[in-house]
Amino acid sequence: MQPQNIAELILNGFKKHYKLFQQITAQAPLAFANKNWTKMHDISRLRITYYDDRVNETTQQLQNQQLANQLDESFWLQTKQIYQHFLTFHPQAELAETFYNSVFCRLFHRRYFNNDFIFVKATLADAPALPIEAEYRSYFPVVDGLKPTIRKIINQFDFKANFVNLERDIRLLVKAFYKQAPDTHHRAWQMRFDILQTPFYRNKAAYIVGRVVSQSGVQPFIIAVLHHQEQGLYLDALLTNSSQMRVIFGFARAYFMVETHAPSALVRFLNQLMPNKTLAELYNAIGFHKQGKTEFYREFLTHLQRSGDDFVIAPGTPGMVMMVFTLPSFDYVFKIIKDKFGESKPFGRDTVLKRYQLVKSHDRVGRMADTIEYSNVVFPVARFNATLLTQLKQTIGSSMIIEGDLLIIKHMYIERRMTPLNLYLEKVNTEDAAVAIAEYGQALKEMIAVNIFPGDMLLKNFGVSKHKRIIFYDYDEVQYLTDMNFRALPKAKSYDDYLTNEQSYSVAPQDVFPEQLCTFVMPNPQYKAVFRQTHPELLDVAFWQQAQRNIKAEVVNHIYPYPAAQRFIHQW
């Protein structure tokens, strides 16, 4: 086969992937309209594996042509050049580059992973950008008036379900705009609405995303749309606060399902609304997590070039399963599975891999950090001091290689860095500590509601985000809630039993005693008191057992990613 044939084969593999990915994403609106929440979850979960399936399929086709036996440098340089020409006006060029990289890296040894043979840097960065207008539609209240224009926007989304009382919702929406965003107080002829053409679907909600453009500037917003049991749709909330919008698009939530023809244009529009979000975060948020990996690695390489600090052990209590280090000037941690686990961890590497994948494909409800999984990550060894290198060799020796001035990690996870909850509590005042403990209990309840049992619930395994949200990040003991056996502690039969310190009952591996939660998790009496006051249900075995019954009965809870006080339902 000639270089052009290979370039066409890889591009066809990408086209097939993107077509299938968009086809399954396009099922979300109907599932939402029919309130088929199980289907919504299935769509979200299935999209996680679509990319690797197509890469493997394309790689196998190339291997069948015996192109992976040895790298012909001239041949592959021509192939890449031709492929690059194909992408000049391609609406998904950046995603197609990443697909090419994935195929090439499956075919050949990592020593060829350089800019000559793969797209380490975006080669089309200087090419004409796709107009973001391709992804949004503008509306002009000067033509029809403010409320009729909003009605037109809502109706043109065609949610395939009727609204309970759209006129009431529009009235509450306008009222909320005036209250939250005073800069939008303009006459109808002094503003324009730019609205992304397709809703963002996740869990039991749809979100309309857009901006108001006026003489005062640009005001981004998100409108949440929900189902009201059997009655129909309603607008639930308006979000104009930048911090709240970033939380909705946060790293601890499941990926949105949104149809797009030009992802780069969609991402640039979102970036204009949320400039503090990186390209990697935004690609992840809309479901293109492989592109998110590519963008993140480019951001990391750029940061390495512009910084001079050394990698260090990440703050917090060392874990028994993961070795974790960080770069102080970079807001992420690097996690590698240890060669040997602590005695209290009766499982192996394969179990850890499966549990991290479980969380990746699950609804993270804003309480579980997303992980970026990499193979063969290259670091400059000069940025690791002798002490850290020694620790790495002792704990993850089988997962690392030093070649000249490079340190190569064979497999790792990267997560957003947060302040471990146990360290946070040591530094804050009593009031902030109480808020964090209450948030910790709420985080447990929200994970329980979606069939996640965190396993090790120690405070050190939870982090505090920049938005003061409590987020779980240690997944080596994660299991489905329905797989656990929640038991009440046996009562003492006699005074002698009460006095003895020995356990007089058997405990199986899946047994959990909720009454012991405070005993083992919160040695501080003040924390215990707050926890018992704010979340007494979590100490009652009946609460956990009822949560299991709800899940088995397919009761799907909606975890609101915004403050309850902003819901319009309180004004009905």
* R_g over Cα of the chain: 26
* Residue 19 CB partners (closer than 8 Å, separation 6+): none
Q: What is the pLDDT of residue 85?
A: 93
Backbone angles phi, psi at 534, to 5 degrees: -90, -30
Q: Which residue has the tokens 């950008």?
A: 129
Residue 494's pLDDT is: 55
DSSP annotation string for 177-207: HHHH-GGG---GGGEEEEEESS-EEETTEEE
**Residue spans of alpha helices (H) in 108-198:** 141-144, 146-156, 166-180
Q: Quick: pLDDT tens for 386-397.
A: 999 999 999 999
CA dist 518 → 164, 174, 435, 457, 539 (Å): 44, 46, 17, 10, 8
pTM of the model: 0.92
Output the average pLDDT for the chain. 91
Residue boundaries of the structural domains of the chain: 3-126, 133-288, 302-419, 420-552
DSSP state of 571: G
- Is 441 assigned a ligand-binding role in the annotation? no
Segment 526-563, tens digit of pLDDT = 999 999 999 999 999 999 999 999 999 988 888 999 99
Q: Report d(CA 478, CA 351) in Å as an integer.
A: 10
Residue 504: predicted pLDDT: 55
Active site members: 370
SS3 105: helix
Residue 169 to residue 171: CA distance in whole angstroms: 5
314 assigned binding-site residue: yes
Kindly indicate the confidence band of residue 120, based on its pLDDT and cuts at 50, 70 and 90: confident
The two beta strands, 332-337 and 322-326, are: antiparallel
Write down the residue that tokens 């949200």 correspond to.
469
315 annotated ligand binder: yes
User: Tens of pLDDT along 205-219?
Assistant: 999 999 999 888 899
Residue 293 is labelled as binding a ligand: no
Mean pLDDT of the region 149-153:
95
Indicate if the pLDDT at residue 422 is higher than 70.
yes
292 assigned binding-site residue: no
Q: Is 152 annotated as a binding residue?
A: no
Mutual angle of helices 541-552 and 430-449, in 10-degree steps: 40
Q: Using one digit for the tens of pLDDT, what is the confidence trace for 71-81?
A: 888 999 999 99
> Does residue 323 sit in helix, strand or coil?
strand
Which class for 503: exposed (0-12), middle (13-18), buried (19 or more C-beta within 10 A)? exposed
Whole-angstrom Cα distance, residue 280 to residue 123? 17
317 labelled binding-site residue: yes
Sign of CA dihedral 458, 460, 463, 469: positive
Does residue 503 surpass a pLDDT of 70? Answer: no
Dig out the tokens for 306 from the structure.
């512009």
Residue 319 annotated as binding? Answer: yes
Q: What is the mean pLDDT of residues 310-320?
A: 94
Q: Please choose, from the candidates 563, 567, 566, 543, the residue with its C-alpha nearest in 3D space to the C-alpha of residue 469.
A: 563
